[in-house]
Amino acid sequence: MRTAFVVAGALLLAACGSPDQPAAVPVASVSSAVTPAVANTAPASLARYDGYGDVRFGMDEAAFAEAWRGELKGAPSPGSGCFYKTPKGVTPPADIAFMFEGGHFVRYDVGTAKETAPGGGKVGMDEAGIRALYAHVDAQPHKYVSGANYLRIAAPHGDEVLVFETDAQGKITRWRVGVPPQIDYVEGCG
């Protein structure tokens, strides 16, 4: 009821403006005019520190499949507890792959500039750009590429970790998000 009086009062005041002055714009119109511009500046990525889209680290395969609601391919090899699932139409390791170990979702790997990491990092950026985006970056030498690095970033909340891989020139070639110890497997499930 009180809201109705406030709105009616605002409309009466707006109507009382002189002909030389424009009427006041109702508050609702101002906020809706600003909201789309703000929303359009956010990266359109499903990447999160605690998972990807609707899937969360720790989900078992059945819960992951239900939350994903799309076709996935990939299954463990006999005797292996670690494997990747990929969405239909994706060729690993090019775009995105979801790691499972012990029957639970533990990590995802991204090798395309089409995806944006939590916090704004992307494939193709340089190490300086990553350091400008993230407060604390721990650099470690790459296991296989001389002059390249792993840039490790702890999630703001929780145990999750984001790791960027660079080439010898300091450009990001891929990134991954997951939980320890799987986040630090440099060969994936290898």
Q: For residue 111, is it within any domain?
A: yes
Tokens describing residue 120: 């704004």
Terminal CA-CA length for the chain:
65
pLDDT at 74: 85
Q: How many domains does the chain have?
A: 1
User: Is 29 among the domain residues?
Assistant: no
pLDDT attached to residue 90: 79
Q: What is the reported pLDDT for 99?
A: 96
Residue range(s) defining the domain that contains residue 165: 47-183
| More confidently predicted of 45 and 46 | 46
Read off the pTM: 0.75
pLDDT-derived band at 78, boundaries 50, 70, 90: confident
Structure tokens, 89: 């139409």
Question: Distance between CA atoms of 111 and 161, rounded to whole angstroms?
Answer: 17
**61-85: string of b/e by CB count within 10 Å (b at 16+)?**
beebeeebeeebeeebeeeeebbbb
Q: What is the CATH number of the domain that holds 130?
A: 2.60.460
Is 19 a member of any domain?
no
* CA dist., res. 4 & res. 23, Å (int): 19
Q: Is residue 90 part of a domain?
A: yes
The answer to whether residue 16 scores a pLDDT higher than 60 is no
Q: Is the pLDDT of residue 12 over 60?
A: no
